[in-house]
């Protein structure tokens, strides 16, 4: 059986799976200390920041894209009546997260409808039209999971920033499927699943937050005030098999990512910024 479903989570290559098993064994033999994982996490952070084109101090390693995005969605201060613009075709869990904030904080969520396929211009126009003076956040996919619709991320983010609106981009399926650099997208924040197209261990994700905005998002699990501007505050999750993240690096996943994105680059030369509609 050949498993081609990279969209849920990829089948980990033997080299990755064996490394995960090896480090779980090590962890099991030394259960009282998680400290040795830290240097590995920092080298993974460095590698990912280089691959995805952001500052190392802007990148947190999470357990999946859901966690990355919910940190952003639940961590941003919003008052009753503040508005969020997203789309009807965003990921159901992320829509549920906003729905919960509607119930909890009385915010307003506007789900933009769009036909498939459509153009980058149409998507831009629909999102711009949905903005009101109370809009505080735009949340949309770099590429949707349902149909592979690409969004003109850079254009939308530029427009949002000019109006003082924060952008949350769902890159669960973008990371390592096609080449792009986060700095070129000009978004405020971005979430990725590393266990999809990157072939990283199951239960790994990535969160990007622009450096000057880190203190505008509360972590899901509390961190001390001294960490307010530190991207690592989002990684304070208590006891967890954190070495799995270290395994990405040791298992040589970043070189696999390079090979993969190079071949995708040949297929999708114009799509790095999501400017061309699918």
Ligand X SMILES: Cc1ncc(COP(=O)(O)O)c(C=O)c1O
Q: How many residues does the chain have?
A: 278
Nearer residue to ligand X within complex by CB, 40 or 170: 170
The nearer residue to ligand X, 64 or 177, going by C-beta atoms, is 64
Q: What is the 3-state secondary structure (H, E, C) of 117-136?
A: CCCHHHHHHHHHHHCCCCEE
Q: Which of residues 1-40 bind ligand X (CB under 6 A)?
A: none
Q: Are the C-beta atoms of residues 219 and 234 closer than 8 Å to each other?
A: yes
- Cβ nearer to ligand X, comparing 30 with 240: 240
| 4 vs 80 by CB, closer to ligand X | 4
* Per-residue mark of binding to ligand X, 214-253 (x: CB under 6 A): ----------------------------------------
Judge whether 37 and 242 are in contact, CB under 8 Å: yes
Nearer to ligand X, 89 or 254 (CB): 89
Selected binder of ligand X within 47, 205, 219, 274 (CB under 6 A)? 205
Size of the site for ligand X (CB under 6 A): 11
Work out how close the CB of 165 gets to ligand X at its nearest, in angstroms, rounded to a whole number.
21
Report how far Cα 168 is from the mean position of its chain's Cα atoms. 9
Mask: binding to ligand X, 159-198, rule CB under 6 A, as x and -? -----------x-xx-------------------x-----
As a whole number of angstroms, the longest Cα–Cα distance in the chain is 57
118 binds ligand X (CB under 6 A): no
The site map against ligand X for 58-97 (x = CB under 6 A) is: ------xxx------------------------x------
Chain positions 139 to 158 lying near ligand X, rule: CB under 6 A, are: 141, 145
- In angstroms, rounded to a whole number, what is the distance separating the alpha carbons of residues 153 and 93? 21
Tokens at residue 49, please?
Answer: 């920041």
Q: How many Å separate Cα 275 from the centre of its chain?
A: 19
Distance of CA 105 to the CA centre of its chain: 24
What is each CA distance from 115 to 33, 88, 91, 138, 219, in whole angstroms?
A: 52, 10, 16, 19, 35
Q: How far is the CB of 207 from ligand X (least distance, A)?
A: 11
Least gap, CB of 64 to ligand X (angstroms): 3
203 vs 224 by CB, closer to ligand X: 203
Which is nearer to ligand X, 60 or 230 (by Cβ)?
60
Between CA 60 and CA 42 the distance in angstroms is 10
Residue with smaller CB distance to ligand X, 85 or 172: 172
199 sits in the region (left: phi over 0; alpha: psi -120 to 50; else beta) called left
- Structure tokens, 170: 């769902």
The count of C-alpha atoms lying within 13 angstroms of the C-alpha of 125, restricted to the half-sphere facing its C-beta, is 7
Binding site for ligand X (CB under 6 A): 64-66, 91, 141, 145, 170, 172-173, 193, 205
């Amino acid at each position: 059986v050949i498993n081609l479903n990279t969209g849920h989570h990829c089948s980990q290559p033997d080299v990755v799976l064996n490394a995960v098993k090896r480090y779980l064994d090590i962890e099991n033999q030394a259960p009282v200390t998680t400290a040795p994982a830290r240097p590995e996490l920092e080298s993974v952070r460095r590698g990912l920041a280089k691959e995805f084109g952001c500052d190392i101090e802007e990148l947190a390693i999470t357990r999946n894209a859901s966690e990355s995005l919910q940190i952003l969605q639940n961590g941003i201060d919003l008052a009753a009546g503040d508005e969020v613009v997203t789309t009807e075709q965003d990921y159901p869990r992320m829509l549920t997260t906003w729905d919960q904030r509607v119930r909890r904080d009385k915010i307003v969520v506007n789900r933009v409808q769009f036909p498939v396929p459509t153009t980058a211009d149409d998507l831009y126009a629909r999102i711009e039209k949905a903005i009101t003076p109370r809009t505080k956040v735009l949340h949309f996919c770099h590429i949707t999971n349902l149909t592979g619709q690409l969004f003109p991320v850079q254009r939308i983010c530029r427009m949002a920033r000019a109006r003082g609106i924060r952008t949350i981009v769902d890159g669960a399926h973008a990371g390592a499927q096609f080449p792009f650099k986060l700095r070129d997208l000009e978004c405020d924040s971005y979430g990725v699943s590393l266990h999809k197209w990157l072939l990283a261990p199951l239960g790994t994700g990535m969160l990007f937050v622009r450096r000057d905005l880190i203190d505008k998002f509360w972590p899901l699990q509390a961190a001390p005030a001294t960490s307010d501007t530190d991207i690592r505050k989002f990684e304070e999750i208590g006891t967890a098999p954190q070495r799995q993240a270290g395994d990405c690096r040791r298992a040589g996943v970043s070189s696999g990512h390079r090979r993969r994105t190079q071949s995708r680059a040949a297929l999708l030369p114009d799509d790095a910024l999501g400017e061309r509609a699918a």
